[in-house]
Amino acid sequence: MKTRLQKYIFFTCSAFLLIFMILMSRNAGISCDEVLHYDHSVAVYDFFESGGNDLSALDTPETNLKYYGQSFDNLTTLIIRILNIEDIFRFRHLMSAIAGWAVILLTALFALWLTGFETAILVMFLFAVSPTFIGHAMNNLKDVPFSLAYIAGIFFSVRIVTSENEFKWADIILLILSIAFAISLRAGGLLLVCYLFLFCVITLITRHLIKRSTDWKTEIKRVIILIFISFAAFFLGILQWPYALQDPFRNVLESYNVMAHYPLTFRQLFEGSAQWSDFMPWYFIPKSMLITIPLVVLAGFIILFFFIKKICWSGRGLLFSFLLISLFFPLVFVISIKSNVYSSWRQFLFLYPVIILLSASGIIYLLEVLKNRYMKFALAGIIVFLAYHPVRFSVSNHPYEYIYYNQLTGGLKGAYGNYETDYYYTGQTEASEWLINYLKEKDIDSALVRATFSVDWSFRKHPGIKTSYFRYEERSQYDWDYAIITNRYIPPYQLKNNIWPPSNSIHKILVDDVPICIVLKRDTKADYLGYKALTEGRYSDAIRFFQEALNFNDRDEMIFYNFARALNENGLSLKADSALRKALQINPDSEPVLMYCGNLAAQRKDRDKAVMYYERLLSANRKYYEAYVKLSGLIVDKDLLRARELLRECLRLNPHYKPAIIALGDTYRENDPVIAEKYYKMADTIIN
């Protein structure tokens, strides 16, 4: 009777979650990755439709998307084309939600097979109160499907290698499909093949130690089947992947190497400062997980380790060891090779089903040892209490669940200015819809709209509204009427000191009272006209325009910066210095301002001040290569070794930066012309 009731609860919860997630996906925002991956999926579609003649899917120098299999995106686009679906992104979100639900269901089935219905039901509950996962399940067609493939691959690998009897064909087929699906999404799916053989070896050793004998004939047969599974999965996995089809083994391996050391790097907020993704501290991923996973999940995960002895005595030690390997190995590997990591732990979302499974198991083991009914009620109360924080956040802030931070940071408010929030730019969708309605109410049918990422899709039915991209800090240098700005790449100083959002914001998207996206209305174009005059050498006109612009907006460092440039060109250096000081009050880490201040100080023979500005600049951005050369040139006479080390550091970051190579050669010109000549010849091989 109890099992029957549990089964009813299990399937009812599953059905409810499916309906709930599909409905939630209907108003999910469009992420920045979605735009890129959809465009690439169209190129993949064209590749196959043209019989391989259209090779645009192989030409991705900026996005590197040829190295992704992204089969789920490709499948979704295929369905869109076949069914002539007009609302492309809403359908993509529907597909993403279904994939997210499948992750939950399969993890619950894994729990059911592992320990029973109680754990399976708890798995669904823990997923439901996990805002980060639920949020990504609304619009992430690469990380969520990969999570599905990963947990499926582990599940069926464990079922096969721990089977005492002959392998079941159903398990073999499902494992092939799981590994193939993983490879078709990312080359990193090959990790499941490694797990398969590792689990097999561990199981074989364990059986031998227990039984003191081994049926080698049976084990060799098992290995042959595993080899068949691996090759079948590999070739099935590359069928939708144009780049892999060109040279299956070499290109898949190359894709894996590229993804392990992703060539594109990004600035992002972590621990209160903007850091480059390839220079994040080793604990970036673990800490990002620690501060965004609900405490109820973390608590269950920690509890599990108090029952290790009981798990081993129950005969499930081997099974749980496989889960722990599949959780910790990717983390240890990425930390050890110092991978380029960014966007919180989104790229490691595939580990979350394993975490949930272990957490649910820990809570169930604790529940089993509590014999007193009231103690069980108390535990249930604690679980509900810990779940309240993420549930409240999700209910209050849909569709921005993925921005969740737990109590360890003081929630989203505590994380604001210290860690990334809307790094996926999803707030731009709601902001675009608001602006469309605003323009309709104002009877405006033509306008120039700039945004910090593409909003073309949102404005597709409004041809009079022209949209384009710009960087927020350069907004004064472009022509626009309205702007949509996400808080990604906003300097942390401005976030923490209420400089952002600016005063000309006419709408704000708030999540727990934290602004994640805004709509700006331009009060004057004098700043843009001033910039045009400056670039055309009309310095008096530029000064006049900038003075007018500052009457409307005195919180834009780039207006002050360009104003200072115009003043300097007109011989008004004292006023220029004053403008630059005001620019640094708005943004102390403004790179163009610091560079300009350093250059001015160097021109005025104020060496110490110039050194100070260049050092501040390199502290703000270690990849501002020109500053290394400038700083080295200032100190070379007094500290030759440090000057050379600065240039070598620059070349470690960018081996092809020609000015640094020439400058390094210059440091040897007088005392070692042979070495100097080697550097000059090296510089000659680099084409600017």
Q: Are 360 and 113 in contact (CB under 8 A)?
A: no
Facing residues of 520 across strands? 483, 505
Q: Which two tokens stand for residue 422?
A: 């809307």
Q: Are 507 and 518 in contact (CB under 8 A)?
A: yes
Q: Are 494 and 589 in contact (CB under 8 A)?
A: no
Rounded Cα distance between 559 and 553, Å, is 9
Rounded Cα distance between 519 and 427, Å, is 11
Maximum CA extent, the chain: 93
Rounded Cα distance between 239 and 71, Å, is 9
Q: Say what the pLDDT of residue 213 is.
A: 65
Q: Which amino acid is at 647?
A: L
Q: Which amino acid is at 582?
A: K
Looking at the chain, the number of H-run helices and the number of E-run strands are 31, 7
Facing residues of 449 across strands? 467, 482
Contacts of 558 (CB under 8 A, 6+ apart): 473, 474, 475, 476, 477, 583, 590, 592
Peptide bond before residue 399 is cis, with ω within 30 degrees of 0: yes
Helix (H, G, I), strand (E, B) or coil at 516: strand
Q: Say what the pLDDT of residue 601 is.
A: 96
Q: Are 419 and 409 in contact (CB under 8 A)?
A: yes
Peptide bond before residue 501 is cis, with ω within 30 degrees of 0: yes
Rounded Cα distance between 353 and 149, Å, is 11
Closest residue by Cα to residue 390 from 409, 404, 410: 404
Q: Which two tokens stand for residue 560?
A: 């002050």
Q: Which two tokens stand for residue 302?
A: 């920690």
Question: Mean pLDDT in the chain?
Answer: 95
Rounded Cα distance between 596 and 592, Å, is 6
Closest residue by Cα to residue 35 from 454, 451, 421: 454
Contacts of 213 (CB under 8 A, 6+ apart): none
pTM score > 0.85 for this model?
yes
Q: Are 30 and 139 in contact (CB under 8 A)?
A: yes
- In the numeric block, the tokens 């059986």 are attached to 207
Laid out side by side, the sheet with 447-451 consists of 465-469, 447-451, 482-486, 514-521, 505-511
C-alpha 634: how far from chain center: 39
Q: DSSP letter at 279?
A: G
Contacts of 312 (CB under 8 A, 6+ apart): none
- In the numeric block, the tokens 């209160």 are attached to 272
- Compute the Cα dihedral for 549, 551, 556, 558 and give only its sign: positive
Q: Are 274 and 267 in contact (CB under 8 A)?
A: yes
Closest residue by Cα to residue 316 from 361, 354, 356, 370: 361
Residues of the chain with pLDDT under 70: 1-2, 212-214, 688
Helix (H, G, I), strand (E, B) or coil at 578: helix
Helix (H, G, I), strand (E, B) or coil at 258: helix
Contacts of 562 (CB under 8 A, 6+ apart): 476, 477, 527, 530, 531, 534, 542, 546
- Distances from the Cα of 363 to the Cαs of 209, 376, 385, 524, 575, in angstroms? 31, 11, 14, 60, 67
Q: Say what the pLDDT of residue 127 is.
A: 98
Half-sphere exposure of 222 (CA within 13 A, CB side): 24
- In the numeric block, the tokens 């709930």 are attached to 20
Helix (H, G, I), strand (E, B) or coil at 457: coil
Q: Which amino acid is at 270?
A: F
- The H or E element containing residue 31 is none
Task: Give φ, ψ of 687 to 5 degrees.
Answer: -95, 120
Contacts of 259-262 spanning 24+ positions with Cβ under 8 A: 259/67, 259/186, 259/187, 259/188, 260/188, 260/337, 260/339, 261/337, 261/339, 261/340, 262/64, 262/339, 262/340
Q: Are 430 and 517 in contact (CB under 8 A)?
A: yes
- In the numeric block, the tokens 């929030």 are attached to 421
Facing residues of 468 across strands? 450
Q: DSSP letter at 408?
A: G
Rounded Cα distance between 135 and 142, Å, is 14
Rounded Cα distance between 292 and 245, Å, is 38
C-alpha 369: how far from chain center: 40
